[in-house]
Amino acid sequence: MATINNTTGSGRDGDLPNSRKHASGSQSSEAIHKEMDDLCLQVARMKKGVEKKNAIVRKLKEEIEEYKENLLEKQDKLDKSIEGLDKEKCQCEQYRNWWLNEIQFTKLLFNKVPEPNADWDLVRASQSHYLGRF
């Protein structure tokens, strides 16, 4: 037999550093197999955990995409509403300007009437209609 000389072993034939005798070697082998089985179970549990987490991530990604689509639809509706509101504001401004022009014209007419007291009822009705009460 070959002799293995090492600093930690006894120097006997077949002794390896930190090796155990045959009886304890079989216990060590059983412990190693048990540890391997435990590690395999642990790996399987971890894989299941990762699969669950991946499923959750996929579901969240789908929800995010759904929310994005919903947001885009709402943004489109909002843009259309703002566009309609801008058109209404423009029409309102045109109407306002027309009324301001009418009021200005009425004021000019009132200033050109030689004697407003002569037809006071007409003047008062026009003023109350266009300018409000004095």
pLDDT at 26: 60
d(CA 19, CA 10): 11
Cα 62–63–65 angle (5° rounding)? 65
User: Which residues are CB-contacts of 17 (< 8 A; sequence separation ≥ 6)?
Assistant: 6, 7, 8, 9
Question: What is the pTM (predicted TM-score) of this model?
Answer: 0.44
Is a pLDDT exceeding 60 seen at residue 133?
A: no
pLDDT tens profile 11-70: 444 444 444 444 455 668 888 999 999 999 999 999 999 999 999 999 999 999 999 999
Neighbours of 35 (CB within 10 A): 10
Q: Taking the domains of the chain in order of start, what are their residue ranges? A: 22-130
Q: Mean pLDDT throughout 88-98?
A: 93
Give me 47's structure tokens: 């894989």
Which range, 4-8, 85-89, 97-101, 130-134, is most confident?
85-89
pLDDT tens profile 110-132: 776 666 565 676 667 777 776 76
Distance of CA 25 to the CA centre of its chain: 60
- Crossing angle for the helix pair 22-112 and 120-130, to the nearest 10 degrees: 170
pLDDT at 113: 67
pLDDT at 10: 45
Neighbours of 80 (CB within 10 A): 10
d(CA 62, CA 44): 27
